[in-house]
């Protein structure tokens, strides 16, 4: 059937616990499938990359990987309801709601409904977001875009007229015990599964309809079940899937945030034009950055030349100009000294200002003072300058008297004239 396109392809994702390793699917992962076409149905197992082509693809997840239920929910817009579902279902989930994707089937509600109890139940489905993303990515890599995704319970009919539908395949079975309810059980044909017997008795079942490759193995247990068992020749009931809660909603909806960013779109042909424009933009950026750097370099040279000219005109006796700013400061300091004018960073000036500043500090808190290169360092006794309130007070006062104060990691305070 690989060469003949099917009308509809059902891909059965293996249980999450059976994936092993990182728990992610790949195009090489072997899956079961049911392909329904004009010539009938075909089933089998194959890697995802070799699945039959189909005009419509459904992803079917293991019952244990999807939480399905019909719950009471308040009346609110769908967008707000989607945000409220994690809180409504938190206590019923085994995993963190933050790691889950929530889906629901909106119900038509009468305008006369006034309470939650009188409102119809809301069908919801919850799945691990990483598992759903992994499955969609694996199918996208192989060239498939699913139209729907749901729990395996929806591939068989809901109970009706005393009939319970089950599906048996590869040593495992599922039973649909309600419109939006079901359970899984192990079945290798050697014994009657206890969960199935319990469901038959509790639901008042009169007949069991079995689907799947191992459906015939259940017929021998009809007497133990106490009801008739019919083995269908079909793998699934396609019509039953119409009532499924589709997981491809919100960000995972076809065309949504995660539904549109699929790997088949990122082909070499489609990436060619964007890559060309990206290369052009990168080249333009590099040329522009280099041109701007050259412009800044020219401006820097012009400014430095002006500074050197101004320095030489003010101090013609200077023989070499290495750092015009620093040399100007030193020359001004020398001029002040010769004129008997104190500089703001002289020891005598700083010492007088610091004495005024330390009047706000506790008496006896200073352990020593050190002056070096125009800065005065005040060392405090241990534990005296650790008070944040005292530090803030000293900083504020330092600004008032024209000093810049900075507390070092060792608890000392470094003071220099403001603007230095």
Q: Sign of the CA dihedral 131, 136, 138, 139?
A: positive
What CATH number should be reported for the domain holding residue 200?
3.30.420.40
For residues 105 and 231, state if they share a domain.
Answer: no
Cα separation values, 234 from 43, 60, 237, Å: 10, 16, 7
Contacts of 181 (CB under 8 A, 6+ apart): 68, 69, 70, 153
Decide: residue 222, CB within 10 A, 0-12 exposed, 13-18 middle, 19+ buried: middle
Residue 263 has a pLDDT of 45
Considering the domain boundaries, does residue 242 fall inside one?
no
At 69 the three-state DSSP class reads strand
Residue 330 has a pLDDT of 78
Considering the domain boundaries, does residue 103 fall inside one?
yes
Considering the domain boundaries, does residue 205 fall inside one?
yes
For residues 78 and 190, state if they share a domain.
Answer: no
For residues 189 and 316, state if they share a domain.
Answer: no
For residues 391 and 411, state if they share a domain.
Answer: yes
Pairing of strands 228-231, 207-211: parallel
Q: Are 418 and 405 in contact (CB under 8 A)?
A: no
Residue 331 has a pLDDT of 81
Considering the domain boundaries, does residue 300 fall inside one?
yes
Give helix 324-339 / helix 268-314 axis angle, nearest 10°: 30
pTM confidence score:
0.59
Tens of pLDDT along the chain (420 residues) come to 445 567 899 999 999 888 876 678 888 999 999 999 888 889 999 999 999 999 999 999 999 999 999 998 888 888 888 888 998 898 888 889 999 999 998 876 545 444 555 567 899 999 999 999 999 999 999 999 999 999 999 999 999 999 999 999 988 999 999 999 999 999 988 999 999 999 999 999 999 999 999 999 999 999 999 999 999 999 999 999 999 999 999 889 886 555 544 444 456 666 788 889 999 999 999 999 999 999 999 999 999 999 988 888 888 888 888 888 888 877 877 777 777 676 777 788 888 888 888 888 888 888 889 998 788 899 998 888 888 888 888 889 888 888 888 898 888 888 888 876
At 225 the three-state DSSP class reads helix
Spatial CA neighbour of 256 closest among 40, 397, 110, 101: 101
Our measurement of the distance from residue 380's CA atom to the centroid of its chain's CA atoms, rounded to an integer in Å, reads 50
Last residue of one domain, picked from the residues 151, 177, 206: 151
For residues 408 and 367, state if they share a domain.
Answer: yes
At 330 the three-state DSSP class reads helix
Considering the domain boundaries, does residue 252 fall inside one?
no
Decide: residue 3, CB within 10 A, 0-12 exposed, 13-18 middle, 19+ buried: exposed
For residues 112 and 199, state if they share a domain.
Answer: no
For residues 198 and 331, state if they share a domain.
Answer: no
Pairing of strands 122-128, 375-380: unpaired
Query: What is the 3-state composition of the chain as percent helix, strand, coil, each rounded to the nearest 5?
Result: 40, 25, 35
Give the C-alpha separation, 106 to 90, whole Å. 20
- The Cα diameter of the chain in Å comes to 121
What CATH number should be reported for the domain holding residue 412?
3.30.1360
Give the C-alpha separation, 324 to 111, whole Å. 84
Spatial CA neighbour of 129 closest among 110, 149, 109, 157: 149
What CATH number should be reported for the domain holding residue 129?
3.30.420.380
For residues 188 and 142, state if they share a domain.
Answer: no
**Other beta carbons less than 10 A from residue 299's beta carbon:** 10
Considering the domain boundaries, does residue 75 fall inside one?
yes
Last residue of one domain, picked from the residues 151, 169, 201: 151
Give the C-alpha separation, 139 to 144, whole Å. 5
Residue 354 has a pLDDT of 85
Q: Are 25 and 134 in contact (CB under 8 A)?
A: yes
For residues 70 and 109, state if they share a domain.
Answer: yes
Our measurement of the distance from residue 66's CA atom to the centroid of its chain's CA atoms, rounded to an integer in Å, reads 20
Last residue of one domain, picked from the residues 292, 314, 341: 341
Structural domain containing residue 115: 8-151
Spatial CA neighbour of 23 closest among 171, 149, 135, 98: 135
For residues 275 and 388, state if they share a domain.
Answer: no
Q: How many domains does the chain have?
A: 4
Considering the domain boundaries, does residue 311 fall inside one?
yes
Give the C-alpha separation, 379 to 414, whole Å. 9
For residues 147 and 206, state if they share a domain.
Answer: no
DSSP 220: G
Considering the domain boundaries, does residue 127 fall inside one?
yes
Residue 255 has a pLDDT of 64
For residues 397 and 301, state if they share a domain.
Answer: no
């Amino acid at each position: 059937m690989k060469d003949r396109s099917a009308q509809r392809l059902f891909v059965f994702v293996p249980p999450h616990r059976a994936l092993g390793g990182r728990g992610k699917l790949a195009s090489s992962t072997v899956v079961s499938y049911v392909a329904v076409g004009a010539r009938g149905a075909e089933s089998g197992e194959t890697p995802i990359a070799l699945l039959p082509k189909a005009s419509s693809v459904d992803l079917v997840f293991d019952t244990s990987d999807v939480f399905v239920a019909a719950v009471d929910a308040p009346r609110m817009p769908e967008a707000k309801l989607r945000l409220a579902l994690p809180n409504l279902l938190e206590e019923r989930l085994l995993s963190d709601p933050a790691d889950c994707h929530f889906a629901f089937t909106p119900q038509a509600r009468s305008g006369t409904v006034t309470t939650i109890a009188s409102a119809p139940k809301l069908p919801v489905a919850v799945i691990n977001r990483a598992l759903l993303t992994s499955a969609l990515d694996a199918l996208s890599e192989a060239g498939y875009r699913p139209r729907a995704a749901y729990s395996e319970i929806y591939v068989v009919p809901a109970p009706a007229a005393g009939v319970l539908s089950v599906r048996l395949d590869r040593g495992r079975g599922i039973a649909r015990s309600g419109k939006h309810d079901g359970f899984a059980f192990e079945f290798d044909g050697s014994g009657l599964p206890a969960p199935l017997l319990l469901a038959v008795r509790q639901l008042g079942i009169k007949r069991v309809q079995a689907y799947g490759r191992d459906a015939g193995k259940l017929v021998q247990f009809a007497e133990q079940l106490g009801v008739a068992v019919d083995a269908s020749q079909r793998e699934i009931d396609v019509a039953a899937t119409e009532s499924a809660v589709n997981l491809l909603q919100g960000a995972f909806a076809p065309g949504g945030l995660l539904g549109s960013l699929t790997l088949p779109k990122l082909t070499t042909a489609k990436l060619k034009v964007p890559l060309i424009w990206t290369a052009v933009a990168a080249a333009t950026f590099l040329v522009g950055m280099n041109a701007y750097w050259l412009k800044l370099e020219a401006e820097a040279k012009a400014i430095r030349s002006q500074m050197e000219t101004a320095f030489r005109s003010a101090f013609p006796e200077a023989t070499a100009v290495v750092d015009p700013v620093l040399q100007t400061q030193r020359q001004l300091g020398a001029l002040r000294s010769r004129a008997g004018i104190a500089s703001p960073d002289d020891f005598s000036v700083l010492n007088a200002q610091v004495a005024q500043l330390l009047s706000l500090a506790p008496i006896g808190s200073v352990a020593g003072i050190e002056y070096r290169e125009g800065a005065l360092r005040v060392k405090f006794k241990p534990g005296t300058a650790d008070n944040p309130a005292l530090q803030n007070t000293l900083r504020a006062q330092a600004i008032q008297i024209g000093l810049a104060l900075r507390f070092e990691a060792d608890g000392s305070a470094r003071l220099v004239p403001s603007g230095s």
